[in-house]
Amino acid sequence: MQRRDFLSLTAAALAAYGQQKPRRVGLIGTGWYGKSDLFRLLQVAPVEVVSLCDVDKTMLSNCADIVVERQASKKRPRLYADYRAMLKEKDLDIVLIATPDHWHALPFIEACKSGADIYCQKPISLDVTEGLAMLNAARKYNRVVQIGTQRRSTPHLIEARDEILKTGKLGKIAYVEIYCYYHMRAKNPPATPAIPADLDYEMWTGPAPMRPWNGLQHPRRWRAFEEYGNGIMGDMCVHMLDMVRWMMDLGWPTKISSTGGILIDKASVANIPDTQEATFDFGDVKVNWTHRSWGHPPDPKYPWGATFYGEKGTLKASVNSYDFEPLDKTQKPIHRDVKMELEEYPVDKVEKDLERHVAPAIRGHMKDLLAAIDNRSKPVADIEQGFISSASCILANLAMKTGRTLQYDPARNIVIGDPEATRLLTRPYRKPWQHPDPKKV
């Protein structure tokens, strides 16, 4: 890039953000997606990354090295092992949270109290009551919150919503299939594992039950255990359910049911289902989820996605593409692929572990967050939308566990007519950590 072009871009960026000083940013959780989110934010705004926090010293230091390379000031961020010390400074404008799911709620609530606006990964919480406490904290402290359900900012999916659904090309939609057939469930652990010397496993476990270390928990494969996450339901279904809700302007499902279990991979140490179906009942619209971490997908082009069945045609949508097939054969099918923006952002070509097809959506999500912060408005994936989608997936897991159809009342945080399921909305915390109370945040 020519120097004059760089200066021109810098001037334009500053003008766009009102000639203000760079927003001060902190990241909690410097692993795979924490870095993906942070570096996309650096691509779209003149922010200053001043604080990083992680319980893994090596991961933390590696992230700091990359930040020094990429941010304009070339300053090294302050490093923290405890989010409470980082947030105690109360000097951050934006906090990004990309920890495992069991560590979302407590840092989120403290970030709200510290006066920061927040970008939090999905699902927003591990249990439903945590999510409600997070929503209440965001509202109480007037925080702008974007949840990492970035299908709402995926360019080709925005086009599908606007040009296919909203123009009536599908007609009335009464049934949507959402699904994931990736073989993504972790299997057997490494032989004779040892806790890495640079990992504080006690702090990593935090409020979750203390499981013996098996080499799978960190990094990235913690989703194989229900103690830390909500399985494939909380990882993959939440994206597609949220996308459908956004595209169709749906609120809470009235009823949720689910069946499944560990049907194939019974020898693995993973304790999440390898097979699961769930039905989210929105009245005139039924949304049905399926995942299998084994076997072939019905459509190899859409191993993870959504299929909208309308009276006038069918739409398949995923992170990689969409396809509209009209029933009227005089109309032409429509196909679109994701645009990865690799030429516009060449660093994406070499960034380790980056999902290049998702990077444009993360950038769009960050731009939307920044605009909402400027306007003190709700971003496209506001905390309430994240709560609805996350809680619905958690409730699907509870429906499978109890073997019953559940009707959740968000106003009272109860499952109607089901005291046992209501108790399961709040998981026990390991001492000394205390579960947040939605009424006392």
pLDDT tens, N- to C-terminus, the chain (441 residues): 454 544 445 545 445 545 578 999 999 999 999 999 999 999 999 999 999 999 999 999 999 999 999 999 999 999 999 999 999 999 999 999 999 999 999 999 999 999 999 999 999 999 999 999 999 999 999 999 999 999 999 999 999 999 999 999 999 999 999 999 999 998 877 776 889 999 999 999 999 999 999 999 998 899 999 999 999 999 999 999 999 999 999 999 999 999 999 999 999 999 999 999 999 999 999 999 999 999 999 999 999 999 999 999 999 999 999 999 999 999 999 999 999 999 999 999 999 999 999 999 999 999 999 999 999 999 999 999 999 999 999 999 999 999 999 999 999 999 999 999 999 999 999 999 999 999 999
| Separation of first and last alpha carbons in the chain | 48
Q: From 85, 91, 14, select the one nearest 50 (Cα to Cα).
A: 91
Query: What is the reported pLDDT for 16?
Result: 53
Q: How many CB atoms lie within 10 A of CB 19?
A: 8
The answer to whether 171 and 312 are in contact (CB under 8 A) is: yes
Q: How many CB atoms lie within 10 A of CB 183?
A: 12
Locus of tokens 């009276």: 311
The answer to whether 399 and 406 are in contact (CB under 8 A) is: yes
Burial of 167 (0-12, 13-18, 19+ CB in 10 A): exposed
User: Coil, helix or strand for 175?
Assistant: strand
Q: Strand ranges (DSSP E) for 66-186?
A: 78-80, 94-97, 117-120, 145-147, 173-180
Q: In Å, what is the CA distance from 250 to each residue of 204, 247, 277, 383?
A: 36, 8, 20, 15
The answer to whether 30 and 60 are in contact (CB under 8 A) is: yes
H/E run at residue 258: strand 255-261
pTM of the model: 0.94
Q: How many CB atoms lie within 10 A of CB 72?
A: 12
Query: What is the reported pLDDT for 3?
Result: 47
DSSP 224-244: GSTTTS-HHIIIIIHHHHHHH
Query: What is the reported pLDDT for 17?
Result: 44
The answer to whether 87 and 111 are in contact (CB under 8 A) is: yes
Query: What is the reported pLDDT for 189?
Result: 78
| Domains contained in the chain, CATH given | 3-151 (3.40.50.720), 152-351+383-423 (3.30.360.10)
DSSP state of 184: -
